[in-house]
């Protein structure tokens, strides 16, 4: 009987261990990016590794959610669509450092935290959509306030992170007085209220509301590929994409990225997923699925995006731009950027 009890105890222990092992083969992502945009990549990771990936979409309040959950948080990986948001995660203390030779080799030093608290996984350019018939093939960000575009510019809210990043970069280069004047010029050039999304700029160009729009590069790929439906394909057919530059500089690039959560219950799996996302295989999937630029120099750029021409990112570091975000946001309000016609 005692032997039988011993066998049963050992069997129970093995079963518990096995169940724990199975449960451990997962990784939980909290993301501010629509999960559907990266689902093909996550599916490929699961197929290769056997690790299940669960996603929780949090358009707002990611930091607050992790802080409220504390040590019991199930979050393993935190993903954002903006560089500033990555830094916010670190400053809030909800990340932990990762040291990985794989990540260091795949991701340029300028696109990852020296301490390993965050890693860029894809990038996008802040570009100009222009009506195809418009005699315009090159433009600087500084020229967006030119009088030739009075009443002809479409742009989303000045307080949206995509625009705040652009305005902060301008502020870092040109100072407060010039930036305020420039923002006033952009406001004067608006063809309709600064609102909606980037794809709405292409829609309104197609409808004759405006001649140019400021948008992220990947939205054009989503439209031109037909992934947005026939209506959005027609919008993309009405525009051409120009890679603007700063005077004497390059094109503004922002990044999507990820960090391992401070209390990650599946830390090893989270790092494994991060390393996969930085691989050429996943970077190619990123480019194909989301029409973003890979962060890995050896990964291919999707053909629709490559057709824009050679992207030369501005040499100004995103880290250097970050301190100017708050003041840029204040200037947006000071010039009533989002109030049309006043």
- Provide DSSP, 300-315: PPPHHHHTT----B-S
Task: Note the pTM of the prediction, 2 decimals.
Answer: 0.82
The reply to whether 125-251+309-334 shares the fold of 2-123+253-302 is yes
Phi, psi of 125 (to 5 degrees): -100, 145
CATH number of this structure's domain 125-251+309-334: 3.40.190.10
* Residue that has been written with the tokens 């000045």 in this structure: 158
CA 14 to the chain's CA centroid: 44
Q: Is the pLDDT of residue 129 over 60?
A: yes
How many degrees, rounded to 5, is the angle at CA 313 between CA 312 and CA 319? 165
Q: How far apart are CA 118 and CA 272, in angstroms?
A: 14
DSSP string, 277-293: HTSHHHHHHHHHHH-PE
Contacts of 111 (CB under 8 A, 6+ apart): 119, 120, 123, 255, 257, 295
* Residue 219 marked ligand-binding: yes
pLDDT tens column, 203-262: 999 999 999 999 999 999 999 999 999 999 999 999 999 999 999 999 999 999 999 999
* Residue 129 marked ligand-binding: no
Per-domain residue ranges for the chain? Answer: 2-123+253-302, 125-251+309-334
32 touches 80 (CB < 8 A): yes
CATH number of this structure's domain 2-123+253-302: 3.40.190.10
Q: Is the pLDDT of residue 23 over 60?
A: no
Q: How far apart are CA 309 and CA 26, in angstroms?
A: 40
pLDDT tens column, 227-243: 999 999 999 999 999 99
């Amino acid at each position: 009987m005692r032997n039988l009890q011993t066998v049963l105890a050992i069997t129970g222990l093995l079963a518990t261990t096995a169940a724990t092992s199975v449960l451990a083969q997962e990784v939980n992502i909290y993301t501010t990016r629509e999960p559907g945009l990266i689902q093909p990549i996550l599916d490929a990771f699961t197929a290769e590794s056997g690790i299940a990936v669960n996603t929780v979409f949090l358009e707002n309040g990611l930091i607050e959610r992790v802080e409220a959950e504390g040590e019991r948080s199930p979050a393993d990986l935190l993903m954002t669509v903006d560089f500033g948001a990555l830094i916010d995660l670190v400053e809030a203390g909800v990340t932990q450092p990762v040291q990985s030779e794989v990540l260091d080799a795949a991701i340029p030093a300028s696109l990852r935290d020296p301490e390993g608290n965050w890693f860029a996984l894809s990038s996008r350019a802040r570009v100009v959509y222009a009506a195809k018939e418009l005699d315009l093939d090159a433009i600087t960000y500084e020229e967006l306030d030119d009088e030739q575009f009075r009443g002809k510019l479409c742009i989303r809210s000045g307080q949206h992170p995509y625009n705040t990043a652009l305005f902060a970069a301008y502020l870092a280069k040109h100072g407060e007085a010039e930036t305020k004047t420039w923002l006033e010029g952009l406001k004067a050039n608006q063809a309709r209220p600064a609102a909606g999304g980037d794809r709405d700029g292409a829609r309104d160009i197609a409808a004759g509301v405006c001649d140019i729009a400021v948008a992220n590069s990947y939205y054009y790929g989503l439209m031109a590929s037909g992934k947005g439906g026939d209506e959005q394909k027609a919008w993309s057919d009405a525009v051409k994409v120009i890679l603007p530059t700063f005077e004497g500089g390059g094109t503004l690039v922002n990044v999507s990225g990820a960090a391992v959560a401070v209390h990650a219950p599946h830390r090893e799996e989270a790092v494994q997923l991060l390393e996969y996302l930085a691989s050429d295989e996943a970077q190619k999937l990123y480019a194909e699925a989301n029409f973003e630029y890979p962060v890995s120099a050896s990964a291919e750029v999707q053909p629709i995006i490559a057709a824009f021409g050679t992207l030369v990112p501005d040499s100004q570091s995103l880290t250097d731009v970050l301190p100017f975000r708050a003041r840029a946001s204040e200037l947006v309000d000071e010039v009533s950027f989002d109030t049309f016609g006043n």
